Amino acid sequence: QVQLVESGGGVVQPGRSLRLSCVVSGFSFDTYTMYWVRQAPGKGLEWVAVVTYDAVNKYYADSVKGRFTISRDSSKNTVFLQMNSLGPEDTAVYYCARVGRTSVTRGGFDYWGQGTLVTVSS
Amino acid sequence: EIVMTQSPATLSVSPGERVILSCRASQTVSTNLAWYQQKPGQAPRLLIYPASTRATGVPARFSGSGFGTEFTLTISSLQSEDFGVYYCQQYNYWPLAFGQGTRVEIK
């Protein structure tokens, strides 16, 4: 069955970095575009970053552009989110999610991980 | 940038009642819209994608409709397990955008 498992969250001081990972299984990783979506405590959902199925294109929300980097490693069936210069506004549960169609960039998300909590605090 | 507006913010409903949730886009998104249900402590669950197609395993009491800027999610007969927050999301344009959510409470 399809599984997405995030890791790498934790408590980090403002200005520091953190790297999240999302290991996927149960589907052909190379045919699906993958996203990171976050949710601040008690708030709604916010798209953060996307890497297309072919790893050619990457897009970022304005709120993280220049600070976050998304990547994927097909040999490890893993999506990464490198987060630099973290601020309190980045405190959230971070989910990785799969677009529900093969070989497209945008779409609804049919599978989600359980989320990993990132807390930015001194 | 497209803004997604959901209404109402909160709904308190008795089991068996019909529920209609609304989602409005600030610009047309065609049928490029998805609906999710999220329960406390859980990841969102895809319900409808695109605008009127139920996702795999979603009960038939959930239905979606709409085109352009106006969309609705209908729960034909609310069950006790349908509590949670419901979000719409457009994927017609960058940046992708979610609505702020509608909380459905069981009366």
Q: Tell me the C-alpha distance between B46 and A111, whole Å.
A: 8
CB-CB under 8 Å, A106 with B46: no
B42-62 pLDDT tens trace: 999 999 999 999 999 999 999
Give the three-state DSSP class for A50.
Answer: strand
A7-54 pLDDT tens trace: 999 999 999 999 999 999 999 999 999 999 999 999 999 999 999 999
- Output the pLDDT for position A104: 87
Q: Tell me the C-alpha distance between A78 and A5, whole Å.
A: 9
User: Under an 8 Å CB criterion, which residues of A touch B?
Assistant: 44-47, 59, 61-62, 95, 100, 106-110, 112-115
Q: Which of A61, A109, A115 sits opposite B95 (nearest CB)?
A: A61
Q: How far A61 CA lies from chain B's nearest CA (Å)? A: 7
